[in-house]
Amino acid sequence: MFQTHHLTNGLRIIHHPFPSEISYCGIAINTGSRDEFPDEQGMAHFVEHMLFKGTEKRQAHHVINRMENVGGELNAYTTKEETFIYATFLSEYFERTVELLSDMVFHSTFPEHQIEKERDVILDEMNSYADSPSELIFDDFENLLFPNHEIGHYILGTSESLLALDKKKVDDFVNRQYSPANMVLFSFGKTPFSKVVRLTEQYFGFPDTRYLLSKKRERPLSETAKKSRIGKGTAQTHVILGARTFDMFQPDRYALYLLNHIVAGGATNSRLNNSLREKNGLVYNVESNVTLYTDTGLFSVYFACDKRQVERCLKLINKELRRIIEIPLSSGQLATAKRQYKGQLGIASENNESISLRMAKSYLHFNHYLPLEEVFSQIDAISAVQLQELAEKLFFPEQLYQLKYV
């Protein structure tokens, strides 16, 4: 289904042939906010913004117009461990896209006046984010879960760290992290693979002159579960609770994803949605999430409710989590959960942009991409006992961290 190739400078290529006029192509870089030095917080995200602000041969508006003038789109985002820069375009503009991506990633100049302007843009972004407690609480929770560790730092950085960023620090970070050996070029569409390889060789096949440091990502130390309250003056109380899990390479990861689906991971008939919303009318939304990193991970449950109902909601959540620990799923319940989860994955696979990005992330970390059929096989192999054992490791109240916005 997918095709791969390695360049001599270490850059890897993955291509998913698909008979569509719409193509996707981008660069996935194995660097994120956890790879910043202590005086660089927010740098990975800042650099992602600055890639759009001019190169050795293009001014900022030329970068944007290069794709927009042919109806294409340029996008980018930063996570704790990755940075993605990619484009959506008609397949006839594949070479235009590859050339532009190479120019942005390897020839951006990071002019001082653009650094000043973009710093203000991101400070506004931070202020906007601070006005969204239902989003901000997830970042604060990771900071609680992983204190004094890079994985807990805010992707946007802090206002103090942003004000301390300058061109030298930007250049140092890029030279340290933006090496071809630290990247994957991903492609999705009808462009022949031979052409994908040829054009990638042409625009990315130069000798690597940047000094890629070996990754020194250190697993967060074990911590005792903590509870915290932050005064936000919100109309509702926002609550998130959860625990650390294993990393993305563990074979049990699909069991964890299925367990998350059962708890409150997307279906309206999930355990917690049924208990808190349908039966008791206490919340508008309750959700559970799993985030897996290269050396750790987390499971969380989030809800917001009337301040007078917080403890009742927490009791109902703990009751449902304990039920999952103590009472194994029946064969019918397990079959239904698997069927639902596979259905959601199947529907999501209709979004070609999402497929492209998942493929890129998978190849970046695993050097492989599992087709949907293989993922379904992994899900089908999960047993009720496996889910119960996993719940025992995660769901006991004494192991759960908790954060409230009040």
326 and 258 in a common domain: yes
50 and 196 in a common domain: yes
pLDDT at res. 216: 74
164 and 42 in a common domain: yes
244: β partners: 298
Domain membership flag for residue 209: no
Return the beta strands (E) in 192-327 as ranges.
Answer: 227-230, 237-245, 283-292, 297-305
pLDDT at res. 397: 86
Domain membership flag for residue 219: no
d(CA 10, CA 214): 14
Domain membership flag for residue 214: no
In three-state secondary structure terms, 161 is helix
Task: For residue 253, give both structure tokens.
Answer: 């990861």
Q: What share of the chain is helix, strand, coil (3-state, %, to 5)?
A: 50, 20, 30
Task: For residue 164, give both structure tokens.
Answer: 């301390």
Judge whether 328 and 390 are in contact, CB under 8 Å.
no
Judge whether 72 and 191 are in contact, CB under 8 Å.
no
Domain C-terminal end among 204, 237, 256: 204
Contacts with 92 (C-beta within 8 Å, 6 or more apart), sequence order:
none
119: CATH = 3.30.830.10
d(CA 328, CA 16): 39
pLDDT at res. 211: 61
Domain C-terminal end among 150, 169, 204: 204
285 and 191 in a common domain: no
285 and 178 in a common domain: no
Q: How many CB atoms lie within 10 A of CB 290?
A: 18
236 and 187 in a common domain: no
Task: For residue 398, give both structure tokens.
Answer: 């004494």
pLDDT at res. 394: 94
Which stretches of the chain score pLDDT less than 50?
A: none
Domain membership flag for residue 221: no
Domain membership flag for residue 220: no
237: β partners: 305
pLDDT at res. 136: 95
145 and 257 in a common domain: no
51 and 193 in a common domain: yes
Q: How many domains does the chain have?
A: 2
Q: For residue 380, what are the domain limits?
A: 227-405
252 and 166 in a common domain: no
Helix or strand holding residue 365 (H, E): helix 352-366
198 and 231 in a common domain: no
Closest Cα to residue 352, out of 28, 16, 4? 16
d(CA 82, CA 218): 16
d(CA 229, CA 349): 39
166 and 276 in a common domain: no
Helix axes 310-326 and 384-394, enclosed angle (nearest 10): 140
Domain membership flag for residue 217: no
55 and 23 in a common domain: yes
Convert 345-383 to b/e letters by CB count within 10 Å (16 or more is b). eeeeeeebeebbbbbbbbbbbeeebbeeeebbeebeebe
d(CA 297, CA 290): 7
| Helical segments of 108-244, H only | 112-130, 133-145, 159-163, 167-177, 193-204
Domain membership flag for residue 33: yes
pLDDT at res. 1: 81
Judge whether 197 and 365 are in contact, CB under 8 Å.
no
Domain membership flag for residue 83: yes
